[in-house]
Chains A and B, each alone.
Chain A
């Protein structure tokens, strides 16, 4: 029972990171109908920027803030300089361009920072509190809960309560009609990419210190988990992304804990296959059929 509680908290903590990363994928999918396969590399780039800033100034928090800003900027650049010019007649075009971007980003980061893992500090202790002799949560887990919780609340308020959020939703659902109503659809698209990349960067900042450290490919495995989470959730549903992230996090934690760590990736694939066979639209999808 102790073990179960520990694994559950561990799974929820990991799951929230996947949820944030899946949320970033969903944001771009909803805005542009592209699965952003470059999200992992973009997040790693932001983490490297934070790493440099933190090393230079000694302040984790300055690095943290700069990482989010770098994410925003990178999102704007990727949309304005690259994705805007992709022909959307086939959904595969965006995927191929995104994969190309992965190679460019990983290559560049490798040249600049080297292809070795560099350990990254966490701002809080990762030692779990013990309540009645049972290991539960660490301070860092609480930080992850708070950070992802804040993102979910802020995004929810943005989309449901603000004029910008209304414009973004309208632009995504009905671009032509939105333009006729004075909405700058291109601007909303750029904003969507910027927000998504910032959320992706946050996920990177949260997950990288808990694994081997920062490396140009550090987010590749996380991307697979988060992509599964997004697909399980239905790819166009923010709630689905969060639930999917938690499901994937818990599954990884239980499988690693009760069976073996090496089996965990297979469990993710099995989940993906099961969902695609049973409910191809995902658990929370609003649309009946999906193109890609």
Chain B
């Protein structure tokens, strides 16, 4: 387990007195896609928010690339190589497409590469290139998801924390986004911790799956094993 990109052990966290997460553990290897699955309220979003420091943990350890993340400020996380695309897409709707994307690279010292990364995002999403000057609220749901994803990529992260990318999107668009994640992993070695309600699409691209129920890990296995485990699917994943 020494080579893990992200190692989470015994993570307990929540809002106020009652924890939402209990003793959660998981591992993401470099270039691996790990799906976090579970019903509404299982604690999936809280898990991502705790990993990025938006929610404080009361116990447990988060180690990224060999360094303990305890005490790391939220705004410094992106400098470590972790990009969190929050639920509801996190596009700043008052800003234009171009401004949103530039925002993703403002922290970078290497201005030339930040510009290059931005151009690459426009190549990756031609529809965004056509809407550079549009405000975020003028975009469709799929375009917003692409914008949020593209904005994260401008920072050239090593780990992407992706919260419900398929939420409210047409199956075709969801399929495109999943294919894109797989493609990015192939090309750049980007690791993804993918929170999804859409279990089928998530398991279609994931290497590993972690199933959460009421804030606890109830299963952790290869994605192919989880796909074939009928009991588990019926009990926790609803299909």
Chain A positions within 8 Å of B, measured between CB atoms, are 163, 166-167, 169-170, 173-174, 176-185, 286
Contacts and interface: CB of A to CB of B under 8 A. Distances in A.
Given A169-B94, A173-B94, A178 B86 contact: no
B139 interface: no
A170 B95 contact: yes
Given A166-B99, A166-B102, A167-B106, A179 B94 contact: no
Contacts of A181: 78, 103-104, 106-107, 151, 155
Interface in B38-83: 52, 54, 74-79, 83
B151 to A, nearest CB: 7
A286 B94 CA distance: 9
A163 B114 CA distance: 13
Interface of B: 52, 54, 74-79, 83-84, 86, 90, 92-95, 99, 102-104, 106-107, 151, 155
A178 B94 contact: no
B90 A185 contact: no
Given A166-B103, A167-B106, A181-B104, A174 B92 contact: yes
Contact of A179 (B74, B83, B104): B74
Given A163-B106, A166-B103, A167-B106, A180 B92 contact: no
Contacts of A183: 75, 103, 106-107
A14 B151 CA distance: 45
Contact of B106 (A166, A174, A286): A166
A268 B93 CA distance: 35
A200 to B, nearest CB: 25
The 8 closest A-B pairs by CB, nearest first: A182-B107, A182-B78, A179-B74, A177-B90, A174-B92, A173-B94, A179-B75, A180-B84
Best-surrounded residue of B92, B94, B95 (most CB of chain A within 10 A): B92
B78 A174 contact: no
Nearest to B52: A180
Contacts of A179: 54, 74-75
A169 B100 CA distance: 11
Contacts of B102: 163, 166
A170 B78 contact: no
A166 B106 CA distance: 9
B134 to A, nearest CB: 16
B76 A182 contact: yes
A173 B151 CA distance: 16
B111 to A, nearest CB: 10
Contacts of B107: 181-183
Contacts of A169: 92, 94-95, 99
15 contacts: A166-B99, A166-B106, A169-B99, A170-B92, A176-B86, A176-B90, A177-B90, A180-B52, A180-B74, A181-B103, A181-B106, A182-B77, A182-B106, A183-B106, A183-B107
B231 to A, nearest CB: 37
Nearest to A176: B54
A172 to B, nearest CB: 9
B128 to A, nearest CB: 17
B75 A177 contact: no
B132 to A, nearest CB: 14
Contacts of A170: 92, 95, 99, 103
A287 B151 CA distance: 25
A167 B102 CA distance: 10
Contacts of B106: 163, 166-167, 181-183
Given A166-B102, A166-B103, A181-B107, A173 B92 contact: yes
Contacts of B74: 179-180
Given A163-B106, A170-B103, A174-B92, A182 B86 contact: no
Contacts of B90: 174, 176-177, 180
B155 to A, nearest CB: 8
Best-surrounded residue of A169, A173, A179 (most CB of chain B within 10 A): A179
Contact of B75 (A163, A166, A184, A286): A184
